[in-house]
Structures are given as C-alpha cells and as structure tokens.
Amino acid sequence: MDIRSQISMVFHLDKCIGCHTCSVACKNIWTDRKGAEYMWWNNVETKPGTGYPTKWEDQGIYHGGWEKNGDGISLRGAGKRKGLLNIFHNPSLPVIDDYYEPFTYKYLDLIESAAGDDQPTARPVSMITGKPIDIKMGPNWDDDLSGTPDYARNDPNLKKLSAAEQEAMFQLERMAFFYLPRICNHCLNPACVASCPSGAIYKRGEDGVVLINQNVCRAWRMCVTACPYKKSYYNWHTGKSEKCILCYPRIEAGYAPACMHSCVGRIRYLGVILYDADRIHEVASASEGELINRHMDILVDPFDPTVIASAKKNGIADSTIQAAQNSPTYKFVKEWGLALPLHAEFRTLPMLFYVPPLLPVMATVKEVRNRKQTEKLGPISKVWDNDWLYDTSTEEIWGTIDQARFPLKYLANMFSAGDESKIKERLKKLMAVRIYRRWKTVGDITEKKAMDALREVGYTPEIADNVYYLTSLAKFDDRFVIPAAHREHAIEMLEFTGDKKGSTGFGFKEDTMKRGL
C-alpha cells in the first residue's frame, strides 16, 4: 500500500446551466496571452455535440489515451517507440481549425470611422495573423445545438447506438441536451506525462496536480496527442505546451480554482481523495467492464486506520488526512456512489468525476380541473383559463428512467465505459432523492413510496438528506475542502532548506550585481 493524496473534483451535471462563466474566469486569469488565445483550459460543451476540439472523443482521429495490449497498456499514439518514430512528424495532432481560429473585432472602427451613409461595422480579425477573417468556428460553436446534423449527430458517443436509437433521440418532442464542462482531469495514470519525450510533465507529489515545466518543455507536442481529453495545448508563441494547472497558486493559498469559485450553477466540488498508488498499473490495465469498479476500489477510505498509517508514513500531513475525511468529492464518488469518471475507457484514471444528468424528467400533459386552484390566486397573478397540467409526477417510480429522453446507452458511452447498469444505478439514486424530497416538500407522494424508493437504492433518509444538502444548499466551505498546501514539506523533499538559512531574507530572485564591474 502506497497511499498518496489527490485533489479531485466532482461536477454535478444536473446543475450546470451552460453559462460559460467558468471558461471566462479561466481565460481571464490564465490564457489571455499571445499564443494562448485559442486555448480553453476550461470549456463547456453541449452534449450531444462534437465538442472542442471537434470530435475530441474520437480516438480513431486523434489517437489519444491508452489502449490495452495483452496484460498491460500502451499509449495509442505516442510512447517510447511510436513517439520516437514520429518525433519530428507527429501524425495525429489537431490543427488550429480543429479548435478554432481565435478572433477579435476591430472595435475602434465603430467610433473612429469617418461619417458616411452606412453604419460602421467592426470587422473580425484573426488573433493569430491579425488579418480580417471570416469566422468559421468558435470554442462552443455547437452550443445548445442538439439535433443539428453537423454537430449533434456527429457526436462520437453515438457510434455504438443503433440508427433507430439515434433517430429517437433527435425527434423534436424528445430533443434534449445537457452541458458538459471540462477541465484537465489531473489523472492518476496521465497519458500526457507518459508521452513526454523531454520529461517535462509531472504529477505533483503533494496533491497530484499535473503540471508542465515550461523550462523543460521542448515543443515535441506528444502530450497534445497523448491526452485523450485534448487538455494539453501547444502555445505557438512561446513554443511550449500548456495545460490546466488547477489554479495551484490559488489552491496553495486556500482558494478554490477560479472556474469553481465563479461557477454560477455551483456544480463544482473539490476535495482530497486518498488513493493507493501501488495499484495504478493493475487498475489501468483492467478489462473494460471492470475499469470503473477497480477505479473506485483504488480510492481508499480515509477513516481506515491502515490507510491513515500508510498515509502518514508517506508524509501526508494530518490536515490533509482530515481534509480527505471531510471531502465532498469522496462522498459523491465513493460514499454515495453518485459520480462517475468521463470516458474511463481511455484508461488515464481521471480524477474529475461527473454526477450524470437526470435530464428533463419525462412529463405528461393532463387535463385537470384548475378552477379551485385559480380561485385561490391573488388579483395580480396571471391566470390561465385552460385546464392543462404539465405533470412531472409518475405512477411508476422508475418508469421515467427507462423512458429517459436519451437512451441510457448514450450516457453509458460517456460515463461508464458502455455499462448501462452503472448509469442506471446512479440515475436511480438521484431520482430516489428527488422522490424523497418531493414527499417532504410537495407531499403528493406517499411516505411509503418515498421510503421504498430510498430502500431500493440502498439509501437511508439520513444519506438522502446529506445528498440533498450537498447538492442544493452547500456553502462555499462545504463544496471546497482545500487542505493546507504544506509547501514547506514539498520543498523539503526537493532541497535541503538549511542551505538557505541565514543567507536570505531580503531577497532577489536573481543575484544582484557584484560591486566593481
């Protein structure tokens, strides 16, 4: 047992409103620079849709991630032999048009043009060439475009669905979509790290954040190919690759990353999860059906005394262990079994988990007598004089899940390596909590029914209350449990701090000039 600590994340997809505030927060802090304009370390995609870069999930195009070979795994498009063979001619790189050509507008033309017959316009100009361009694409070009032939219907996750299933998804009455915010997953078995010929990428020991050392990066761009999530980007201006740094300067200071801090839907949770590093290789090479279970196994119980002992032996601070015990992500992922990793089949063991979306609950429109209800309304309220009710209650408890607007297979392709039962289990739990809360607050469901629902998914009312609290009421400090960074310990692992003692205090980053020259 080799216990390490990882800062992990949970995104609750039912809560995302697709406002892109997170992306903008990230862009303003980190990627508003020359050469980085096209990068979105945080982006929000509409699903079904092709995403950013287009069709990133299709490893037939980009050759990212690991693939199983025999007992072990190897990188699909990079690695020692393939990487060396292709080192000067990396064949599966996305081109700028796969992302989009970043642009701005010549706003000054609006106020500086000479008076004329026509309204002045601000022409779009490329942020790469500086020349006027026709905008072809944006980072969220297919936003809300479920059903479109060019985007939604080209979603790589539809590949394993039959034509009839696909057609059903895009019927006008059933059309639905949800948002998928993505950042780097700070994986346990990161393909980007494994692919780098210069050894520039590393997973930070103290909290598992994956970083690219800008001094060591030599622009081979193997990580761009290798990351199956396409979350490593090449900066054409500096000639170095860059990726999400999980706002580590903020985390070290105890703040939530900017995307999480600014999230309007409050969908994001961050906390420590302890894991057993000894088993990474074994878990990553598990068979496809076993991947998710094994991934969950490797995340260990922070209350288990043997785990705590091993963690302490590895120098994990008491405060970090405590943070792991309070971690909202551990609750969502392990305790409540609600969250799943995105595309586990890429075998990078991502540490960003998603609570799958329940999607719009199937509803019926019923004819009812509304008179009585209407009479109760005050004089200023709007009164509908028809007798229709948009009814979301359901006679059969799980009926709605099976008749969900999306085939479960679609969600399973994204979140559970194709295993529908796992998705169903999570959705049922979400539904059970909903039914339970409906009994409590609306009261049109009997207590028995609510309790039956909970019992069937293995929840107690107490757990349901906790899920409800963390989902809907949680405050900042409940959503983000950030341990003290203990940089001093991390630094001591790398260098002997005694060397600096007595020689610093009023310092300079570079040596000052010596006298006499």
Contact residues toward ligand SF4 (CB under 6 A) are 16-22, 44, 179, 181, 184-187, 190-192, 210, 227, 229, 231-232, 243, 263-265, 267, 348
What single DSSP character describes residue 275?
A: E
Least distance from another protein to the Cβ atom of residue 493, Å = 41
Coil, strand or helix at 350: coil
Closest CB to another protein among residues 56, 459: 56
What single DSSP character describes residue 480?
A: B
Single-letter amino acid, residue 294:
R
Closest CB to ligand SF4 among residues 120, 197: 197
**CB contact burial 335-357 (16+ within 10 A = b; e otherwise):** ebbbbbbbbbbbbbbbbbbbbbb
Phi-psi category of 266—alpha, beta or left, where left has phi over 0 and alpha has psi -120 to 50?
Answer: left
Residue 38 to residue 33: CA distance in whole angstroms: 10
Coil, strand or helix at 305: helix
**CB contact burial 98-130 (16+ within 10 A = b; e otherwise):** bbbbbbeeeeeeeeeeeeeeeeeeeeeebbbee
Closest CB to ligand SF4 among residues 187, 359: 187
H helices present in 131-247, as ranges: 163-169, 191-195, 222-226
Residue 289 to residue 296: CA distance in whole angstroms: 13
Residue 348, binding choice from ligand SF4, another protein, none, Cβ under 5 to 8 Å by partner class:
ligand SF4
Single-letter amino acid, residue 388:
W
Closest by Cα among 448, 399, 462 to 427: 399
Single-letter amino acid, residue 241:
S
Least distance from ligand SF4 to the Cβ atom of residue 24, Å = 8
Least distance from ligand SF4 to the Cβ atom of residue 154, Å = 22
Least distance from ligand SF4 to the Cβ atom of residue 380, Å = 32
Closest CB to ligand SF4 among residues 16, 307: 16
Residue 243, binding choice from another protein, ligand SF4, none, Cβ under 5 to 8 Å by partner class:
ligand SF4
Closest CB to ligand SF4 among residues 40, 459: 40
Residue 62, binding choice from another protein, ligand SF4, none, Cβ under 5 to 8 Å by partner class:
another protein
Q: Tokens standing for 39?
A: 């990068």
Least distance from another protein to the Cβ atom of residue 134, Å = 5
Closest CB to ligand SF4 among residues 251, 454: 251
Closest CB to another protein among residues 60, 72: 60
Closest CB to ligand SF4 among residues 120, 360: 360
Least distance from another protein to the Cβ atom of residue 253, Å = 40
Residue 327, binding choice from another protein, ligand SF4, none, Cβ under 5 to 8 Å by partner class:
none
Least distance from ligand SF4 to the Cβ atom of residue 327, Å = 20
Residue 91, binding choice from another protein, ligand SF4, none, Cβ under 5 to 8 Å by partner class:
another protein
Beta bridge partners of 201: 212
Closest CB to ligand SF4 among residues 310, 471: 471
Residue 145, binding choice from another protein, ligand SF4, none, Cβ under 5 to 8 Å by partner class:
none
E-assigned strands of 208-292? 210-212, 232-235, 240-243, 268-276
Phi-psi category of 42—alpha, beta or left, where left has phi over 0 and alpha has psi -120 to 50?
Answer: beta
Least distance from ligand SF4 to the Cβ atom of residue 216, Å = 16
Coil, strand or helix at 45: strand
Q: Tell the burial category of 170 from Cβ atoms under 10 Å away from its Cβ (0-12, 13-18, 19+).
A: middle
Residue 490, binding choice from ligand SF4, another protein, none, Cβ under 5 to 8 Å by partner class:
none
Least distance from ligand SF4 to the Cβ atom of residue 187, Å = 3
Annotate 44-74 with three-state secondary structure. EEEECCCCCCCCCCCHHHHCCCEEEECCEEE
Closest CB to ligand SF4 among residues 234, 459: 234
Cα Rg of the chain (Å, integer): 26
Closest CB to ligand SF4 among residues 78, 435: 78
Residues in the site for another protein, rule: CB under 8 A?
Answer: 50, 53-55, 61-62, 89, 91-98, 134, 136-137, 150, 516
Instruction: Please provide residue 95's backbone torsions phi and psi, each rounded to the nearest 5 degrees.
Output: -95, 170
End-to-end distance of the chain based on CA atoms, in angstroms? 57
Least distance from another protein to the Cβ atom of residue 320, Å = 42
Residue 390 to residue 405: CA distance in whole angstroms: 16
Closest CB to ligand SF4 among residues 144, 304: 144
Residue 187, binding choice from another protein, ligand SF4, none, Cβ under 5 to 8 Å by partner class:
ligand SF4
Residue 241, binding choice from another protein, ligand SF4, none, Cβ under 5 to 8 Å by partner class:
none
Closest by Cα among 277, 88, 80 to 195: 80
Least distance from another protein to the Cβ atom of residue 52, Å = 11
Coil, strand or helix at 132: strand
Residue 344, binding choice from another protein, ligand SF4, none, Cβ under 5 to 8 Å by partner class:
none
Least distance from ligand SF4 to the Cβ atom of residue 16, Å = 3
- Quickly tell me which residue has 């860059």 as its tokens: 242
Q: Tokens standing for 224?
A: 């761009």
